[in-house]
Amino acid sequence: MRYLLDVNALVALGFYQHEFHERVSAWVRKISADAATELATCSITELGFVRVLAQALPYGFNVPQARQLLLKLKSARIVRFAFITDDHDISHLPAWVKAGRQTTDGHLAHLATSKGAILATLDQKIPRSFLIPR
């Protein structure tokens, strides 16, 4: 199984002080026992990770530090990481997307599905996604 992590899940996994770090880490530890399972990122999720960590003053990261943290996370041997190339334009946005705040979620959910993955998220409102368990 391949899971495309959304931005919040990726930040929670990579940043130990995140309020949902333990939740995401516990799930990753559980799925890591299956050698066929991999986590995936894409341009949007990687850029979002860097943006969130660099913009949130309490996190105390600058862009180079956030980038380095993500590279370290992806090279860790906890679970295999893959990168999904994003070749989807606006014509692929799902019909359920009705509000501006849903656009990235819709894009990522469709991208994941089209690449044989499922979007893994902490947001229970994204259709056809996997809600990372508590």
- pLDDT for 118 equals 98
| pLDDT the model gives residue 125 | 92
Measure the CA–CA gap between 92 and 110, rounded to whole angstroms. 7
- Contact predicate 1/36, CB 8 Å: yes
* Residue whose pair of structure tokens reads 């996604």 in the numeric block: 129
pLDDT of res. 121: 98
pLDDT band for 81, please (50, 70, 90 cuts): very high
| Block residue for tokens 């995140």 | 18
pLDDT at 57: 81
Contact 103, 97 (CB under 8 A): yes
CA distance 60 to 88: 33
Question: Model confidence at 133, in pLDDT bands (50, 70, 90)?
Answer: very high
For the chain, the structural domain boundaries read 2-131
To the question of domain 2-131 being in CATH 3.40.50.1010, the answer is yes
Burial class (CB in 10 A: 0-12, 13-18, 19+), 125: exposed
Q: Using alpha carbons only, how large is the chain's radius of gyration in Å?
A: 14
Q: 58 falls in which pLDDT band (50, 70, 90)?
A: confident
The predicted-structure confidence for 113-131, as pLDDT tens digits, reads as follows: 999 999 999 999 999 999 9
The winner for highest mean pLDDT among 29-38, 45-54, 69-78 is 45-54
